[in-house]
Amino acid sequence: YNSTTGPSGSWIAVGAMTSARGAHTATLLNKGVNRGKVLVCGGQSSANPTAGGITNTCELFTPGADTFALTTSMNSIRMGHTAIGITNGKVFVSGGKQWNAGAWVYLPTNELYDSNTGVWTPVSPLVDGRVDHTATVLNNGNIVIAGGYNAFNRLDLDTELPDSVPP
């Protein structure tokens, strides 16, 4: 989106992602060697979740060059997860779901991406696996997880504070 083209802005075409996907995340990297790039992760890449349609792959979008390039994959395949850049320049990814043995599994897993090294590190899990939730970085650097859905309950009032994410 180009907001400099007037009050209504305009959309411009850029290079194609390495794989089409939906229900993924796109997170602006705010520090380090990849500062200004966008980390695109996970999602569903085909209409059939049982045929490998949900992915753990990630790619970096480089604005200006308008290109995508593969980077290190997450530890878990997931879609419907949330991702947020945190103050140390890393990206926190939380929850989501995957298809396993004929049923949706709502993931309690969280992981942290270091954009300088490309390394994914598992961190403390959620109490309740969930999709369509939010992650917010608080002023003290902690992260609060709020809302979502897990096939059994709407988690509107349930919040969590993962305890092993370094601020």
Which of 50-54, 95-99, 152-156 is the least confident region? 152-156
- pLDDT greater than 80 at residue 162: no
Residue with tokens 């966008």: 38
Q: Tell me, what DSSP letter sits at residue 133?
A: -
- pLDDT greater than 60 at residue 164: no
Please state, in angstroms and rounded to a whole number, the distance separating the CA atoms of residues 150 and 9: 37
Amino acid 38: pLDDT: 97
- pLDDT greater than 70 at residue 72: yes
Listed residue (88, 87, 89, 133) closest to 110, CA to CA: 133
- pLDDT greater than 90 at residue 9: no
Amino acid 32: pLDDT: 92
